[in-house]
Amino acid sequence: MSDTSRILCPVLSQRIMSAEEAAELIPAGAKVGMSGFTGAGYPKAVPGALAERIRRLNAENSTPFRISVWTGASTAPELDGVLAEVDGIEMRLPFQSDPICRNRINNGTMDYVDYHLSEVSQYAWSGFLGKMDIALIEVAGIREDGSLIPSSSIGNNKTWIEQADKIILEVNSKQNAKLEGMHDVYYGTALPPNRKPIMLTDPADRIGEQYMVCPPEKVIAVVETAAPDRNSPFKPSDDTSKRIAGHILDFFNREIEMGRLPKELLPIQSGVGNIPNAVLEGLDAGPYKDLTAFTEVIQDGMLKMLKSGTLKVASATAFSLSPDGIKEFDDNIDFYRDKIILRQQDISNHPELARRLGVIAMNGLIECDLYGNVNSTHIMGTRMMNGIGGSGDFARNGYLSIFVSPSTAKDGAISAIVPMVSHVDHTEHDVKIIVTEQGLADLRGLSPRQRAHEIINNCAHPDFRPALIDYYERALHSGRGMHTPHLLEEALSWHRRYEETGHM
Amino acid sequence: MSDTSRILCPVLSQRIMSAEEAAELIPAGAKVGMSGFTGAGYPKAVPGALAERIRRLNAENSTPFRISVWTGASTAPELDGVLAEVDGIEMRLPFQSDPICRNRINNGTMDYVDYHLSEVSQYAWSGFLGKMDIALIEVAGIREDGSLIPSSSIGNNKTWIEQADKIILEVNSKQNAKLEGMHDVYYGTALPPNRKPIMLTDPADRIGEQYMVCPPEKVIAVVETAAPDRNSPFKPSDDTSKRIAGHILDFFNREIEMGRLPKELLPIQSGVGNIPNAVLEGLDAGPYKDLTAFTEVIQDGMLKMLKSGTLKVASATAFSLSPDGIKEFDDNIDFYRDKIILRQQDISNHPELARRLGVIAMNGLIECDLYGNVNSTHIMGTRMMNGIGGSGDFARNGYLSIFVSPSTAKDGAISAIVPMVSHVDHTEHDVKIIVTEQGLADLRGLSPRQRAHEIINNCAHPDFRPALIDYYERALHSGRGMHTPHLLEEALSWHRRYEETGHM
């Protein structure tokens, strides 16, 4: 599968080896910075070869061989899955969505640290996480001077390449060669006290380089691959998603009418999944034109919006497309090339930029309580789902924070609106809008008691509404504080009831 | 008490009237933006006159006369106290510390909205909070052209003056006339999509104007006052505060040794109170030189550090000094004038600047749980103490977030370390360091289970340690998720026990 036209640097072409040979260069206990963000641009071959090596060595030795894995965000079965399966990951950060990985996190055999995605590179630069040993990075090509053409995500790659002593590159010939030039890698970063303003004032601005700098002397292996990114089929919007999208679109229209949003809205940040895609479809069907996106991930809906002119530019750190989306993108890359900019995640998610641009942040929630506290990560307070991702970066610092979910889960057994959330990722101070298929709660300017009315009446499922009102009323008259009324002895009883009976 | 030398604008000197006359101009239901931040620079006379008017009218009428009060942060008995006493406040934001006000918030007779202090002006500009009717602002003087010399705090004054249709000014001749020139009011703010980078890269930078712009035609009243700011006597550091400060200083020293902090540290943000003052005293006694502060409030400890050269510059939005501190400042204002810069709070607390400068954020906590979630605002989950203030602005976006508290409260009846906090203001994603007099827990790079060990062993009081370990161990082996082990049926039982027995 050699495609040496992708490796133009003479020095680095001498370091081409097999994935198995490269995996031998990763020692036990290593902190490895890997590429990969929402299933795009992760290394496809070396993690599998390393997992095989770990399986072999662990069968022979009593001292387990494990590494720490730092990525951009979630990867794929070929990375998180295979390494978790052989119990090869000691510590994982900052986001994952792999079922085997998740299982290890929740059965206590893997340590997982759940960071805001904007902050990971700062953590690494600062030395707070210890020294990174090896960077394992997928690229679309290596140029003559050794600089790198990023592939379908950038994530933390710039930082990993800077921080690691040794670098292993995977050159993936399945990545579209025309990705070249779509990236914007910003080299103005620094640790304080040497930081400067980031001179980006529009999602379309380019402030960096098209390529990643990579000192050839640090590269210990180059592995050629030809494998597609993980991608999931695009599911057509269901009725619930469409109703949620409808409430959001009504809200945007009202805000525009009231002069609180421009008619081009403000740069959109959108989580991945059915509901966000339904919102994007709704925007695309509406009267909107020349919108912009300043987000983490380019999903199918954004391609359609770019095609129709609803969206004029999308800035992100990664793609997350369906097979159909990938085909559309590959077939029409010349159209998309100048309308999509991929940045490193410490820029795509930067608090400075989210605040300045005034991002409209739309993210999913697992549960929300009467007072607007949102849980994005934990099932029943103890089990990690995926991670906070960039939701905190955008919700805290953006202009509008919108959290969405169907009002129930598990066929109606679970209410997304609960008396008290079992874990808090977004505090009452950061949550402006809650939306379910039932309706939209606009929490701006409301005290906790006022929020409770808005959330129960507009967002809770009718099956759970009476119980929520009952809890709230009894809390209000319990003799405890009436700023945030709670019955501490019952506050988490809905979760316990679910654990005990399978129904909240 | 007329001191017309402070009112040089001929047009505005014609609008001088009594506080009682000015109070008549505030209608029922008005949204009033008042000056004031941590007991500095709040209006001294009109709120009291208004309270008197409300008392009189409410005795006569059945429709209650109430207003909404928006400030910078906490004020004083002459504002929050008198208005709360007559039940004159319908809605209060964004921070308060008044006992009467707090009582109304917690008995359900006042709505209170607790915002990040950096975000309040954005809320007001955006129209999310509705239209502000009147701004009531204390100033140190009015210049010939009608521009204003701010007094001992700026807070949200620039925004209130811009947003309100009508303005009432209090000119306080007790404010030191030499405050003139110490302020830096930034007029480069805008709503998105028109925001530009804020070109501040050092706490000493000046990016704005010394005066506040104020259209004379909007000014409906000018009231002369001569009253001091609220101020509390400075209490010498107690043993607990000194031990907490000692742990923080040891930590700074280690970080400098490891090359993770420069020897001048990074700009310090410090909450107000005994513990922060003890830390400042500790820094002042140590080998530090040329430190900087980028914070909300200038407290006594900072004056001493400026005097000794430990601190070279302090940027804030307000003073909060003891009577001795005020005397020191007034007596030596020529020394302090070029070393202290007062800014509006949307700049002093701006996420862009906190991240760029890499602020070291030190703030108090009410309680912290095993996994590093921090409650800064609620007593036993339901009763508001003061508010989140700027702690979230700095903790989320700064370089280091340090939360401090004695390990127990109420003579040992309450543990500051609990299984699960009863309210979350700072999530596990935002809390890096916890310090009690027992020791320091460095949570950076640790998974939730690892954090639990660090917090129990280093921070919990020995009297509560066995019960915390017992809870944690049972949660770990309960069959629930082991990422964030909890026993939901017991998680808040310490708070219930305190409510029932007076002891956790």
User: Catalytic residue at A296?
Assistant: yes
The predicted pLDDT at position A2 comes to 52
Contact between B308 and B283 under an 8 Å Cβ cutoff? The reply is no
Three-class secondary structure of residue B222 per DSSP: strand
Bond before A466 cis per omega within 30 degrees: no
Show the domains of chain A with their CATH numbers. Answer: 12-225 (3.40.1080.10), 239-501 (3.40.1080.10)
Q: What is the CA radius of gyration of chain A?
A: 23
Closest alpha carbon to B277 in B309, B242, B248: B242
Contact status of B425 with chain A (Cβ, < 8 Å): yes
When scoring B420, B429, B446, B496 by the number of chain A Cβ atoms within 10 A, the one with the most, hence best to mutate, is B429
Using CB atoms and an 8 Å cut-off, which of residues 134-193 of chain B contact chain A? 191-193
- In degrees and rounded to multiples of 5, residue B50 shows phi and psi of -65, -40
B499 and A488: CB-CB below 8 Å?
yes
Partners of B492 on chain A (C-beta within 8 Å) are: 488-489, 491-492
Q: Give the residues of chain A that fall short of pLDDT 50.
A: 1
Say whether pLDDT at B223 is over 70: yes
Q: Where are the alpha helices (DSSP H) in A271-388?
A: 274-285, 300-308, 323-331, 333-336, 345-348, 351-357
B483 and A378: CB-CB below 8 Å?
yes
The predicted pLDDT at position B4 comes to 62
d(C-alpha B264, C-alpha B244), whole Å: 21
Question: Euclidean distance between the first and final Cα of chain A, in Å?
Answer: 54
Residues shown for chain A: 504
The predicted pLDDT at position B319 comes to 96
Binding residues of A: 366, 386, 390, 410
Q: Where are the alpha helices (DSSP H) in B61-118?
A: 82-85, 99-106
d(C-alpha B331, C-alpha B327), whole Å: 6
d(C-alpha A22, C-alpha A46), whole Å: 7
The predicted pLDDT at position B1 comes to 44
Closest alpha carbon to A136 in A99, A172, A177: A172
Contact between A362 and A475 under an 8 Å Cβ cutoff? The reply is no
Question: Euclidean distance between the first and final Cα of chain B, in Å?
Answer: 54
Q: Where are the alpha helices (DSSP H) in B24-119?
A: 46-60, 82-85, 99-106
The predicted pLDDT at position B264 comes to 97
Chain B, nearest residue to A203 by Cα? B193
Closest alpha carbon to B171 in B147, B138, B146: B138
Contact status of A217 with chain B (Cβ, < 8 Å): no
Per-residue pLDDT tens for B380-390? 999 999 999 99
Q: What is the DSSP string of A170-204?
A: EEETTS-GGGTT-EEB------TTS-------STT
Per-residue pLDDT tens for B126-172? 999 999 999 999 999 999 999 999 999 999 999 999 999 999 999 99
B480 and A382: CB-CB below 8 Å?
yes
Chain A, nearest residue to B353 by Cα? A352
The predicted pLDDT at position A4 comes to 62
- In degrees and rounded to multiples of 5, residue A119 shows phi and psi of -95, -10
d(C-alpha B357, C-alpha B265), whole Å: 11
Catalytic residue among A296, A328, A367, A437: A296
Can you name the residues that pair with A319 across neighbouring β-strands?
A298
Contact status of A487 with chain B (Cβ, < 8 Å): no
Which tokens belong to B41? 């620079």
Q: Which residues, 6 or more positions from B317, have their beta carbon under 8 angstroms from its beta carbon? A: B37, B72, B153, B154, B155, B296, B297, B342, B343, B344, B345, B347, B348, B349
- Angle subtended by helix axes B274-285 and B239-257, to nearest 10: 50
ipTM topping 0.95: yes
Per-residue pLDDT tens for A300-355? 999 999 999 999 999 999 999 999 999 999 999 999 999 999 999 999 999 999 99
Which one of A192, A262, A355 has the shortest CB-CB distance to B266? A192
Contact status of B447 with chain A (Cβ, < 8 Å): yes
Closest alpha carbon to A135 in A15, A31, A22, A32: A32
- In degrees and rounded to multiples of 5, residue B139 shows phi and psi of -135, 165
The amino acid sitting at A176 is: N
The predicted pLDDT at position B473 comes to 98
Per-residue pLDDT tens for B459-491? 999 999 999 999 999 999 999 999 999 999 999
Contact status of A373 with chain B (Cβ, < 8 Å): yes
Catalytic residue among B138, B281, B296, B367: B296
DSSP 8-state class, residue A449: H
Q: Which residues, 6 or more positions from B101, have their beta carbon under 8 angstroms from its beta carbon? A: B80, B81, B84, B89, B92, B110
Q: What is the DSSP string of B274-287?
A: HHHHHHHHHHHHTT
Per-residue pLDDT tens for B366-381? 999 999 999 999 999 9
Which tokens belong to B493? 């039982």
When scoring B488, B489, B499, B500 by the number of chain A Cβ atoms within 10 A, the one with the most, hence best to mutate, is B488
